[in-house]
C-alpha cells in the first residue's frame, strides 16, 4: 500500500504540493489535468509539465484521477471510436511518462452526487451530505445552482459549470441508455483500451457510482459486488480493475464492504478510504475517517485490503471542513491529512500484528 493524497493542480486546489509533502508517509499525489476536456487527447508536453511540477516538490505522481470518459463513449454514439482513439493516445502519453494507474468513472450525466456541501455538525465542522428526499424534491437541472453557492469558489470534480449548462441536453443524450446498453458500452471501451494498458502496464480503476443507486432515473452500473464481478469477468484482464471507494459502495447499506474487498482480490488497483454516518438508509453524511465517528469499521476495511495483498495507492477521501479552513468541499488539507495518518496507523498495526504471529 502506498499512501497518497489527491491534488487538483495549481490554480484549482487550495492545498499546495509543499503542504502535501509534509503529511507523514505521503510521497505521491493522485492528480489530473483538471482543465482537460473529456474526449480530447492529453498532450505529452502537458503531462511532462505536470510531472516536473510534482517532482520539483519532492513528490511523485502515483496515479491519475481522472481521465474522464466522454459522453459519446458512455452513450455509444456512432463516432465513439474517434474518442476511444483519443483516450488511447492519452494512455500512451501517460504510459510513456511512467504513470501506471488511471481512475475513471462511467456515470451518466452526473459524477458523484451530494445534496448539501456544508452540513453543520455538533462540533462546528461541516460535511457533505445526501438525502434521497432532497434529490426527489429538486429538479435535476437545478441541482447545480443549488450547490454552487456552497462551493467556496472551487469547481467540484465532475460538476464543471460548462457541463452543467447543458444538463438538459445530456439527459436527452442518455434517454435510451439502459443499464444493459451502458454496461455493453463500458465493455466495448475496455476491450479497446486493454492493448495499450498491457503495453504500458496501466491499471484502469473504475470508480463506483456515488451514491450506489440510480439517481433521477439515470442508469448506474458500478454499484455492488455482483456488478463488479460481472465487469471484471466480462473483460478478464488484470489491467481492468477497480477503485475501491468505501464512501461510495458504503452508501448502500446492503453492500458488505469487507466481503466486496475479498471478492475483488487482485483487481483493486486504487483505494479511497473514508467513513460515513447514517441518519437513515437514505440520509447520510460524511464523517471523520476514524471508525468511531461514523458507521464503518475502518479497521476491518483496512485489514481486508491488507489480507488480500493490496499494494496500490490508497488515499484518504472527502474530509470534514475543520479549523476554519476554506477549500473545495471535501477536499481541504486538515481532515484529509488526519485521515492519511490514521489509515497508516491502522496499516502499521495490522502489518506488525501479522508479522509477529
- Least separation in angstroms between CB 9 and ligand DNO: 14
The catalytically annotated residue of 71, 111, 130, 207 is 207
For ligand DNO, the closer of residues 59 and 102 by Cβ is: 102
For ligand DNO, the closer of residues 65 and 298 by Cβ is: 65
Active site residue 100: no
Active site residue 272: yes
Active site residue 207: yes
- Least separation in angstroms between CB 245 and ligand DNO: 6
Instruction: Find the distance separating the first CA and the last CA of the chain, reported in whole Å.
Output: 20
- Least separation in angstroms between CB 349 and ligand DNO: 27
- Least separation in angstroms between CB 348 and ligand DNO: 26
Contact 109, 167 (CB under 8 A): yes
Contact 23, 70 (CB under 8 A): no
Q: Which triple of cell numbers denotes residue 231? A: 465487469
Closest CA to 277 of 320, 315, 242: 320
Place of cell 486546489: 13
Residue 97 CA to residue 60 CA, distance in Å, equals 12
Question: H or E element: which one contains 144?
Answer: helix 143-148
Residues that bind ligand DNO (CB under 6 A): 65-66, 103-105, 111-112, 157-158, 207, 330
Closest CA to 309 of 243, 355, 262: 262
The catalytically annotated residue of 103, 318, 335, 342 is 318
Closest CA to 154 of 318, 335, 326: 326
Q: What angle do CA 252, 332, 14 make, to 5 degrees?
A: 135
- Length of the chain (residues): 357
- Least separation in angstroms between CB 244 and ligand DNO: 12
For ligand DNO, the closer of residues 225 and 274 by Cβ is: 274
Active site residue 269: no
Active site residue 87: no
- Least separation in angstroms between CB 294 and ligand DNO: 17
Residue 208 CA to residue 111 CA, distance in Å, equals 10
The catalytically annotated residue of 317, 334, 335, 342 is 317
- Sign for the CA dihedral angle at 107, 109, 110, 115 comes to negative
Q: 78 in the Ramachandran plot: left (φ > 0), alpha (ψ -120 to 50) or beta?
A: alpha
Q: 9 in the Ramachandran plot: left (φ > 0), alpha (ψ -120 to 50) or beta?
A: left
Contact 152, 13 (CB under 8 A): no
Closest CA to 7 of 68, 45, 50, 47: 50
The catalytically annotated residue of 104, 130, 331, 342 is 331
For ligand DNO, the closer of residues 242 and 264 by Cβ is: 242
Residue nearest to ligand DNO (CB): 66
Q: 130 in the Ramachandran plot: left (φ > 0), alpha (ψ -120 to 50) or beta?
A: beta
For ligand DNO, the closer of residues 140 and 158 by Cβ is: 158
For ligand DNO, the closer of residues 39 and 350 by Cβ is: 39
The SS3 of residue 19 is helix
- Least separation in angstroms between CB 355 and ligand DNO: 33
Active site residue 239: no
The catalytically annotated residue of 210, 272, 289, 335 is 272
For ligand DNO, the closer of residues 196 and 273 by Cβ is: 273
Any idea which residues carry the catalytic annotation? Answer: 207, 245, 272, 317-318, 331
Amino acid at each position: 500500500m502506498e499512501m497518497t493524497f489527491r491534488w487538483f493542480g495549481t490554480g484549482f486546489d487550495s492545498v499546495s504540493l509543499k503542504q502535501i509533502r509534509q503529511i507523514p508517509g505521503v510521497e505521491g499525489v493522485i492528480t489530473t489535468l483538471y482543465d482537460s476536456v473529456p474526449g480530447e487527447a492529453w498532450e505529452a508536453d502537458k503531462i511532462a509539465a505536470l510531472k516536473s511540477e510534482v517532482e520539483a516538490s519532492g513528490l511523485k505522481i502515483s496515479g491519475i484521477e481522472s481521465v474522464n470518459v466522454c459522453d459519446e463513449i458512455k452513450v455509444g454514439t456512432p463516432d465513439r471510436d474517434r474518442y476511444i482513439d483519443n483516450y488511447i493516445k492519452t494512455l500512451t502519453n501517460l504510459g510513456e511518462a511512467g504513470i501506471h494507474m488511471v481512475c475513471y468513472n462511467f456515470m451518466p450525466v452526473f459524477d458523484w452526487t451530494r445534496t448539501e456541501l456544508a452540513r453543520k455538525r455538533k462540533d462546528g465542522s461541516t460535511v457533505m451530505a445526501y438525502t434521497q428526499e432532497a434529490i426527489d424534491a429538486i429538479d435535476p437541472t437545478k441541482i447545480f445552482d443549488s450547490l454552487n453557492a456552497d462551493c467556496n469558489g472551487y469547481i467540484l470534480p465532475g460538476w464543471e459549470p460548462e457541463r452543467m449548462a447543458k444538463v438538459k441536453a445530456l439527459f436527452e443524450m442518455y434517454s435510451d441508455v439502459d443499464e444493459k446498453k451502458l454496461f455493453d458500452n463500458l465493455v466495448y471501451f475496455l476491450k479497446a483500451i486493454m492493448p495499450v494498458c498491457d503495453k504500458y502496464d496501466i491499471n484502469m480503476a473504475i470508480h463506483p457510482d456515488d451514491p450506489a443507486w440510480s439517481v433521477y432515473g439515470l442508469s448506474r452500473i458500478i454499484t455492488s459486488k455482483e456488478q463488479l464481478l460481472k465487469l471484471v469477468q466480462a473483460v478478464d484482464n488484470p489491467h481492468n480493475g477497480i477503485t475501491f471507494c468505501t464512501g461510495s459502495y458504503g452508501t448502500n447499506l446492503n453492500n458488505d464492504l469487507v466481503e466486496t474487498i475479498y471478492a475483488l482480490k487482485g483487481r483493486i488497483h486504487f483505494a479511497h478510504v473514508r467513513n460515513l454516518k447514517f441518519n437513515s438508509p437514505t440520509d447520510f453524511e460524511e464523517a471523520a475517517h476514524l471508525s468511531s465517528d461514523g458507521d464503518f469499521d475502518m479497521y476491518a476495511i483496512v485489514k481486508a485490503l491488507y489480507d488480500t495483498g493490496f499494494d496500490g495507492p490508497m488515499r484518504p477521501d472527502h474530509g470534514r471542513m475543520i479549523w476554519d479552513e476554506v477549500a473545495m468541499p471535501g477536499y481541504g488539507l486538515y481532515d484529509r491529512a488526519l485521515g492519511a495518518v490514521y489509515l497508516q496507523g491502522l496499516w502499521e498495526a495490522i502489518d506488525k500484528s501479522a508479522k509477529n504471529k
